[in-house]
Chain A
Amino acid sequence: MGRFVVDHLNAFYKDKQALYDVSLEFPEKTVTAIIGPSGCGKSTLIRCLNRLHEVTPRARHSGTISLDGREIHEMDAVRLRRRVGMVFQKPNPFPTMTVYENVAAGLKLEGGHPKNEIDQEVYRSLKQAALWEEVKSNLDGPGVGLSGGQQQRLCIARALAVSPEVLLMDEPCSALDPIATAKIEDLIFDLRKNYTVVIVTHNMQQAARVAEYTAFMYMGKLVEFDLTEKLFESPKEKLTESYITGRFG
């Protein structure tokens, strides 16, 4: 469960094309990293995967994306996003809610979950997000009262609480210090046992550390997609090679 297939995807903002004919497959229960210089379309790509791209005013796309064999644009967006969680660049917990309420938010929206089930899911997700030990005595404190790294793990827990199949991460560590980054990376490494993870990053070391597969994008086009080791050690494309050896970007 959680296998994404992207086929001939083009995406636009207003008149500007952000993705050109991108085709690739995100295998299930693996971590795939998308790397590339800023503005290369990597964020646009994952925002297409949970149909957040279409929320932007005057954004459109062509081509198909399927999740476990079903075209996602034929699915109900609410049901799709329930199966595909997302973590953003900047930690964005709901400022009016407590730690507990933040994690429970998705289940509350869904409705019909008894209190003890929500309690259990909150516990499980905070545990999975490696945050439980740090916040267990402070579940009723405000979510925004945590440190930056804790807030980001809170957002991961919030996304995990609804038991998604896929977790999209849009540069989740770019606003964090190195220690917090290391914690999140460990976490991502653990998550692949249960989830398909797609992580956008501009940090190549990070991709090398956490991802089994890596896609390199440049100027809206997918340049190369391969096992991470292969991509970094023997890139097929000249462009990939010059990027990973630091000649641009």
Chain B
Amino acid sequence: MAFDRVARRRWKSHLFAGLTLLCVVAALIPLTSIVWTAFDRGAPALSVGFFTQPLPAPCGSAQTHCSYGGVGPYIEGTLVLIALSSLIAIPIGVLIGIYLSEYGRRGIGRVISFFTDVLTGVPSIVVGIFVYTLTLDYILKTGGNPENVYSALSGATALAIIMLPIVARTTEEALRAVPDSVREAALALGIPKHRTTLRIVLTAALPAVLTGALLGVMRVGGEAAPLLFTAFNNPLGYTGVTQPAGALPTMIYNLYQTPYANWQADAWASALVLVLIMVILSVASQIVFTRVRRRISGGQ
């Protein structure tokens, strides 16, 4: 009687173990399918020219010789948008992280830290609308033409707003992981607080801060939603900060229903490139991050 009961409990335990394994498998199916589909459909378009040439002329199913061309301008646009937004978000984000860790450890600083976390949850499409409305308002007030509301600068601003809280919070966490004894030692030597912070604390936490910046870049690199009404689209890629700009994610969105085989292949190849870059950055940042965390916790 009692023996049967234990056997049943054991069996139930094995059953649940099996179910959890099944969950892992289930979670990995979509990833495999996405990578495989992108590779299968995008591979024909992949060549050296893919990274430099512009989109080709559309190619109907009746034609036999289709040129795949490339997505060079969109790659350029994406890189410029990421660079511009990083230029805005990383310095400001790091400074906010410094405030949260070094100057705002209690009271209102905790509130700000909390809201920084909450801001990471604002949908990116709402950020896009926010920047659009802000830009339109500015243009109308300065007597400009509302047609010019789309620009690389406003696209980069939207991306920067998405990056900012991520960079700020990871910087805060990274700096907090530096033991107080380091700060006290520096202050005891008579080094002013701002130099202690910048030279000693920030240097010690630099790998983790860089990981934060990388996380921010990863978060925005694949974003299309905030660019729809800010950077809009530009087949020439990047043509100036006040001009609309093209980017890989928005290009994929514009082409996802296209009937032309060569454009489909280009869109899939772009998806593959985006996924591979994100995967590489993600693996790199996670490896760096765990190593940093291990080093910090191991040292205490």
Contacts and interface: CB of A to CB of B under 8 A. Distances in A.
A112 interface: yes
B6 A78 contact: yes
Interface in B1-19: 5-6, 9-10
Contacts of A76: 6, 10
Contacts of B9: 78, 109, 111
A112 B6 contact: no
A79 B5 contact: no
A245 B79 CA distance: 74
A112 B8 CA distance: 13
Interface residues of A, number: 7
A110 interface: yes
Contacts, number: 11
Interface residues of B, number: 4
A110 B5 contact: yes
A76 to B, nearest CB: 6
A143 to B, nearest CB: 24
Nearest to A77: B10
A112 B6 CA distance: 11
B5 A111 contact: yes
A112 B4 CA distance: 12
A186 B298 CA distance: 41
Contacts of A110: 5
A81 to B, nearest CB: 11
Interface string B47-80: 0000000000000000000000000000000000
Contacts of B5: 110-112
Contact of B10 (A78, A109, A111, A112): A78
A78 B5 CA distance: 11
B4 to A, nearest CB: 10
Nearest to A76: B6
A236 B5 CA distance: 49
A146 to B, nearest CB: 30
A113 to B, nearest CB: 11
Interface of B: 5-6, 9-10
9 contacts: A76-B6, A78-B6, A78-B10, A79-B6, A109-B9, A110-B5, A111-B5, A111-B9, A112-B5
Interface of A: 76, 78-79, 109-112
Query: What are the 5 closest A-B residue pairs judged by CB atoms, nearest first?
Result: A78-B6, A79-B6, A111-B5, A112-B5, A76-B6
Given A76-B6, A79-B6, A112-B5, 4 more contacts: A76-B10, A109-B9, A110-B5, A111-B5
